[in-house]
Amino acid sequence: MEISPALLFNAIIAGLLLGGLYAAMSVGISISFGMLDVVNIAHPGFIILGSYIAYIVNSRYGFDPIAVAIILSPLFFLLGRMLYRVYYVCFEKRGQESLRGLAFFFGILFITEVALILVFGVDYRTVSGVYTDVTWRLGVVDFPLRMVVPFLVSLVMVIGLQLFLTHTFFGRAVLAVAQDQLALRLMGVDPVRIKELAFALSIATAGIAGALLIVIQPLEPSVGREYIGLVFAVCVLGGMGSIWGTLAGALVLGLAESFTATFFGPSWAPAVSFGMLLLALAFRPSGLLGR
């Protein structure tokens, strides 16, 4: 295929926009899995829960789905706190977090899925907003707003999280809990409480990511499972626990997917993306920006 400038620029923009969505979906995993060592396999389930909450409010009251998700993110934060509390008491405290904890989060994923099916049924749901069917054109490059708006929100969320984690006491405590919990205790900080709040933060990001996802594509309750591989891949590729790394990993996977779909055939996209992940693991096991 001839590589025209229009095709090339559009592939770059589409890849970046897609990467923005992937970053929003993965940043929570970067916190829970990368920093707290909690293998929250139910993360995509909470993303879908966020999608459905955005859908309900949007379809009933016409409010913007992303604004709804941001406003309701404290609820996800509270949900995250409760969930971590259960996880801590039942598994982490007893040193059974590895395998049983994993099973616990699998269970949570399926419970979320089944609850959504029982309440909403299995039809595909989507949202509408003033920007969902609008595309801006700048020269030869298209900017579909249903991709641009989620990208911008994701960027703000990721940058905000990075600033929060590096410029506040709580944020530095979260980074410390991943490295040395004993040292944190010696400084008078309760690592369990820090982990609880950080985990809650990761679930809050899932709620917002859910709204971004349903703006981009229609969803049904079981679709969350399909993103388990993706969110962990982004986290590992970017570097465990690195927020900038998550953003970089997400953008790299988005660009890889877009370029492969445009120039080589979309069927190859997953192979190329995960091939890159394997290469990264082989030559830079700590990920793109991991320490």
Partner 1 sequence: MPVRARGVLGIMARALGAILTGLILAGAAFAQQPLRIGFGMSLTGPLGGNGTAALIAMELWRDDVNAKGGLLGRKVEFLYYDDQTNPATVPGIYSKLLDVDKVDLVVSGYGTNVIAPAMPIMMQRKLTFMSLFGLNVNEKFKYDRYFQIMPAGPNPAIGWSQGFFDTAMALNPKPQTVALVGADAEYPHLALEGARAHAKRTGLKVVYDKTYPPKTVDYAPIVRAIQATNPDIVFVASYPPDSVGMVRAANEVGLKTRMFGGGLVGPQFAALRSQLGPLLNGVVNYEFYVPELRQQFPDLQRFLAKYQVRAKTAGVDPLGFYLPPYAYAMMQVLEQAIAKVGSLDQGKLAEYIHKNEFDTFVGKVRFAQNGEWATSRVIMTQYHSIAGNDVDQFKYPGKVTVLYPKEYRNGDVKAPYHENKK
Shortest CB 115 distance to partner 1, Å: 12
Binding residue for partner 1, selected from 63, 106, 120, 274, defined by CB under 8 A:
120
* Sign of the CA dihedral running 286, 237, 11, 64: negative
Shortest CB 290 distance to partner 1, Å: 25
Q: Is 131 in the site for partner 1 (CB under 8 A)?
A: no
- What is the residue-wise DSSP string for 154-175? HHHHHHHHHHHHHHSHHHHHHH
Binding residue for partner 1, selected from 60, 61, 122, 187, defined by CB under 8 A:
122
Binding residue for partner 1, selected from 29, 41, 83, 147, defined by CB under 8 A:
147
Q: Is 155 in the site for partner 1 (CB under 8 A)?
A: no
Q: Is 162 in the site for partner 1 (CB under 8 A)?
A: no
Residue 75 or 229 with smaller CB distance to partner 1 = 229
What is the three-class DSSP state of 129? coil
Residue 82 or 140 with smaller CB distance to partner 1 = 140
Locate 103 and state its tokens: 């099973």
Rounded CA gap, 71 and 211, in Å?
Answer: 11
Instruction: Name the residue among 134, 126, 124, 153 with its Cα closest to residue 221.
Output: 124
Site for partner 1 in 78-107 (CB under 8 A): none
Q: How far is CA 186 from the centre of its chain?
A: 33
Binding residue for partner 1, selected from 60, 61, 95, 123, defined by CB under 8 A:
123
Shortest CB 63 distance to partner 1, Å: 16
**Contact string 215-254 vs partner 1 (x = CB under 8 A):** -xxx-xxxx--x----------------------------
Specify the long-range contacts of residues 174-177, CB closer than 8 Å, at least 24 apart.
174/31, 174/35, 174/36, 174/198, 175/35, 175/241, 177/35, 177/36
Using the structure block, give the residue that is written with the tokens 């929250």. 40
